[in-house]
Structure formats: C-alpha cells, structure tokens
Amino acid sequence: MAGIKINGLNKFYGDTQALFDVSLDIADGEFVVFVGPSGCGKSTLLRCLAGLEGVDSGSIEIGGRDVTKAEPVDRDLAMVFQSYALYPHMSVRANMEFGMKVNGLPAKERETRIAEAARILQLGEYLDRKPSQLSGGQRQRVAIGRAIVKDPKVFLFDEPLSNLDAKLRVQMRVELEGLHKQLAATMIYVTHDQVEAMTMADKIVVLNGGRVEQVGTPMELYHTPNSRFVAEFIGSPAMNVFSPKAGLTDLALNPATAFVGCRPEHFELVAPGQGHADATVTVKEQLGGESLLYLGLAGGTNVVARVDGDDATDVGQSIGLRIPPKRLHQFDSSGHALH
Ligand code: ADP
C-alpha cells in the first residue's frame, strides 16, 4: 500500500489549461474523493495519476517513488472506469484473469487471486457467465474484481456508479466502503455527486476550474467551507447564500460581509418579528420525515428551510426566521469565507 504526493501539477490540452498548480498529500490507506462540477478537472487529475495523461509540470510520487514519467503499468495502481470496460466475449473469470495472464502470473496464483476477489465481491456463482448475463451492479463488481486481482497499491475509480440506478448506487456505495475497510488500500474516487463524496470519503478534494478549492473531511467542508463555492456545493439542498440586505436585522456581521449563508436545516422558525428576518411560506414540499419550506424574504430573496415532517407551518403563513450565530456563514464580495 502507498501514500501519494502530488506537487505543483499543471496540465494543458492545447491552449486549454485543465489543471492549475495542483498539490495534494494522500495518506496510505486513505479513501479520497475528488469532487466538483463537470469540467473542473477531476478526470484529468485522475488520468494524470494513472499515467494515462502526461503532465506539463509538477511531480507525482506513489509510495515514495517518483512516477511522474512512469508508464501506467509501472505505477502499481488499478483503475475502475464508469463504462466497466469488460470484454464482452469473455467470462467473468477470463475478464479477471486477462491482465494477470498478460503480466505472466502463474496459473495457480491467478486462480487464488480470482477466488479471493470472487469471495470479497460475492461473484463466486457468476464466474462462468458472460458480462451480458449480469446485472449492472454485478458488472461493476467484475470491473472492481479485475482491479483487486492486480493487488495494486492504489485503486482509482472514475465515476464508477453513475450508470447504476439510484437504489443500486446506494448499495454499491456501502459495498465500496466495506471493500475499503477490508483491503485497507489507498483509494481515489472521482464523482460529481456530493452525496457520494460526503458518505464515502475520509478526505474530500473539491476542484473548481482546474484548481483545488478546498481539502478536508466531509464534516469540515460542511461546517467550515472556505468559500461560497464549497458552501453551495456540499450539502443538499444547498446552503442558502444571500445578501444581508434581504431584510436581515440584529445580526452581528463582519464589515466585509457581502453575502450571508445558512443551511436549510439550520434556520429556526419563530414568530414574525422575533427572528432575524420575516418570511412568507410560498411552497411546502412534504418528504415524509422532513419537509422543505420555500420562503420569500423582503426584497424578493428566496430561501429554503428544512423542518421536521410533522411541522405544521403551511403555505401562505408568515413566520420569523432565526439564524443561530454559530450556524451563520459570511462571505466577502469575492466569495471567500470570513471565519
Ligand atoms: P471533469 O472530469 O471534472 O468533468 P475533465 O478533467 O474531463 O473534467 O476536463 C477538464 C477540462 O479539460 C475541461 O475544460 C475539458 O473540456 C478539458 N479536456 C478534458 N479532456 C480533454 C481533451 N482530451 N482534449 C481537450 N480538452 C480536454
């Protein structure tokens, strides 16, 4: 197993710069998620790590060895793609065996590794099937199995669950977390889905326009985002970010504050006139255990509050909104958080 050090990575595609001075430390055994909107450079960073793309400057170390210029096969890592990339004419067993055969592993060792991967992934009874005879989740497991049998130092996952339906995604998420615990391997996982990032990561790397925007544990990013970008990206529904001129009163604000933020679950509903703002409920979405209240503030600002499913507040009602001081986020005019 191995830690990874990325130092000052820059990557261009022609005139387009995809990565700007990316530096990261990933500890041995860590589960790290690269997250960000489409086009932010997540896949590029992963592909540079894998050696599928060259870099223009900077360095990459895996397990203390400089691999910046090494071929993909010499980096001791295995990548699992969104598309599974299974050989359709080969059985599950042959799909897993292929890479090991190419690498000249003896038959006995190949068999042992396939048996172990099949055990971990519960694929034992499917070893003789073709990929077309498997469900999406099972195919994804075969793709992971093919990575496991390589016994790599590092696993790289590129949006591996995005082709699966919502229920299966949740199940595979739990399986991947279990796999990480069992293998104790360094895992790097790319997704645009902040829920996957929050639920699986030891450490999240938020990318924005080819730059590292923030690195932290899921709860650090949730509680102390460094920027408006991270604040609005992590958490669902997103943090409400709005101008303090939207009828806010009695809130102690930093003189540099251009925007305030409060997560939907952190507003307190009080009587009109008793909070930091008055609001009218325009829409109520009942989700069962909780409800979302869409609220209009003075000056046309709209915010969302998340309340208990039993909360009786209804459409058309006027309420007061209180922002508990420790739940208040403040940002300057360029979107930097003021802590
Ligand atoms: P993400 O994975 O976050 O969606 P990518 O890493 O795929 O983002 O892309 C980052 C940026 O690099 C985007 O602007 C994208 O258009 C550009 N890009 C990615 N791959 C190529 C390529 N092969 N040729 C040219 N530009 C590319």
Residue range(s) occupied by CATH 3.40.50.300 in the chain? 4-233
As for ligand 1, residues whose beta carbon falls within 6 Å of it are 13, 16, 18, 36, 38-44
Cα 153 from Cα 70, distance rounded (Å): 15
Please report, for residues 43, 61, 68, the alpha-carbon distance to residue 57 in angstroms, rounded to integers and kept in the order given. 17, 14, 9
DSSP characters over 172-199: HHHHHHHHHHHH--EEEEEES-HHHHHH
Protein residue closest via CA to atom 25 of ligand 1: 13
C-alpha triplet 289, 292, 295: angle, nearest 5°? 155
Residue range 240-338, CATH number: 2.40.50.140
Protein residue closest via CA to atom 2 of ligand 1: 43
Q: Confirm if 206 and 234 have CB atoms less than 8 A apart.
A: yes
Q: pLDDT of the chain along its 339 residues, tens only?
A: 589 999 999 999 999 999 999 999 999 999 999 999 999 999 999 999 999 999 999 999 999 999 999 999 899 999 988 877 899 999 999 999 999 999 899 999 999 999 999 988 889 999 999 999 998 888 988 999 999 999 898 999 999 888 778 888 888 888 889 889 988 899 999 999 999 999 999 999 999 999 999 999 999 999 999 999 999 999 999 999 999 988 888 899 999 999 999 999 999 999 999 999 999 999 999 999 999 999 999 878 999 999 999 999 999 999 999 999 999 999 999 999 997
The number of beta carbons lying within 10 Å of the beta carbon of residue 81 is: 14
- Domain 4-233 in CATH 3.40.50.300: yes
Query: What residue type is 155 in one-letter code?
Result: F
| Distance from Cα 322 to the centre of ligand 1, integer Å | 43
Residue range(s) occupied by CATH 2.40.50.140 in the chain? 240-338
